[in-house]
Amino acid sequence: MKNILKMQSVRKLIFLALTFAIIQLLIITNIIDAYFQNTLANICINIILAVSLNLITGFTGQFSLGHAGFMSIGAYTCAIITLRMPTILGFFLGVLAGAVLAALVGFIVGLPTLRLRGDYLAIATLGMAEIIRIIFINLKITNGAAGLQNIPRFVNWTWLFIFTVGTVLLINNFLKSSHGRACIAIREDEIAADAMGINTTKYKVTAFVIGAFCAGIAGALYASYFYFLKPNIFDFLKSVNVLVIVVLGGLGSISGSIFAAILLEIISTFLQSFSELRMVIYALLLVIIMIFRPQGLMGSKEVSFSVFSKLGGNFKSGKSKLEQRFKSKKGRV
């Protein structure tokens, strides 16, 4: 058993290293030019955002519409720190401070509002994100509605890759721990989970804080990569965008979120020149998916390396069987 797990992690490592090397090679040889590098950065940032929102909405079943708010906190914190301290150390400090601050706000907001159910929580988080945006518009240090310019750029493909993989691993491992199981139990039936002795408030807040933390990281990367910030980037539409990725990929599927982030970003890169039409297509996509495939492209299934070994005639580990039993039910809110 242990050997198989090890085999899998070796395969994962090889796969990750290959992905990194191939894209790095494409960048060096300039096949992925500056324009597509932006797409690449957007994909990585969206993956972090989507996976962290999936933890909150897809796995814990708490419907949040305020992810852009957490992202903006991370972005502004990192931008302000790197503007004053334009070194690589400053950048790390910025990412860390941004993520911690976003997590802190997530904690403060989450503690009272996570008592609310479903729609009410969605509206409360939406209100929270709007308040954060309005505060950023009015603060001096963020330069108001005009925003911050010339933020030093430290993020390149290497950092994007490391942070994206790190976030996905963090959330994936969290979900495989007993805490993650508790979160999934809350999604399936909050009252039953409560009756089983799970401290529902604690786990909901934990998931929310981890989600906010990762959104802060995504925001910091965004600020450092695109070296320009203004509060209106982080409006309701941004939160909806992240939600669209999560729903399209499938609530409760990490790999689904990753695929959907890649797919949607590629679509929107090609539709860049018709911005209004792009949103119309987005909207139609959303409605059509909800009507015909409400569980998203992947449902709550995962593409993992055990799938490949199953195809090769190998057997499934006991752990993944259990996991499938957990994930077989549809995500409900």
- Residues numbered 240 to 269 that lie near other proteins (CB under 8 A) are 240, 243-244, 247, 251
Tell the smallest beta-carbon distance from residue 241 to other proteins (Å): 10
User: Taking CB under 8 A as the rule, does residue 282 contact other proteins?
Assistant: yes
Could you give the CA distance from residue 166 to residue 172 in angstroms, rounded to a whole number?
A: 10
Tell the smallest beta-carbon distance from residue 13 to other proteins (Å): 35
* Residue for token pair 């979900």: 175
By CB under 8 A, name the one of 277, 314, 324, 328 that touches other proteins.
277
* CA distances to 51, 204, 214 from 207, in Å: 12, 5, 11
By CB under 8 A, name the one of 294, 314, 319, 322 that touches other proteins.
294
- Residues numbered 95 to 154 that lie near other proteins (CB under 8 A) are 112-113, 115-116, 118-120, 122-124, 126-128, 130-131, 134-135, 137-138
Nearer to other proteins, 35 or 270 (CB): 270
Tell the smallest beta-carbon distance from residue 32 to other proteins (Å): 30
Rg (CA), the chain: 20
Q: Which stretch binds other proteins (CB under 8 A): 146-154, 197-205, 212-220, 325-333?
A: 325-333
Tell the smallest beta-carbon distance from residue 304 to other proteins (Å): 25
Q: What does the CA dihedral 164, 248, 305, 56 come to, rounded to 10 degrees?
A: 60
Could you give the CA distance from residue 280 to residue 271 in angstroms, rounded to a whole number?
A: 11
* CA distances to 111, 125, 178, 332 from 190, in Å: 16, 20, 16, 10
Nearer to other proteins, 47 or 244 (CB): 244
Backbone angles phi, psi at 198, to 5 degrees: -85, 130
Specify whether the CB–CB gap between 79 and 92 falls below 8 A.
no
How many CB atoms neighbour CB 21 within 10 A?
Answer: 10
Q: Which stretch binds other proteins (CB under 8 A): 77-85, 93-101, 279-287, 304-312?
A: 279-287
Q: Which stretch binds other proteins (CB under 8 A): 17-25, 28-36, 274-282, 298-306?
A: 274-282
- Residues numbered 179 to 238 that lie near other proteins (CB under 8 A) are 191, 236-237
By CB under 8 A, name the one of 59, 63, 213, 234 that touches other proteins.
63
Could you give the CA distance from residue 44 to residue 36 in angstroms, rounded to a whole number?
A: 12
Specify whether the CB–CB gap between 153 and 225 falls below 8 A.
yes
53 closest CA partner among 326, 237, 245, 271? 245
Q: Which residues bind other proteins (CB under 8 A)?
A: 57, 63, 112-113, 115-116, 118-120, 122-124, 126-128, 130-131, 134-135, 137-138, 191, 236-237, 240, 243-244, 247, 251, 276-277, 279-280, 282-287, 290-291, 294, 330-333
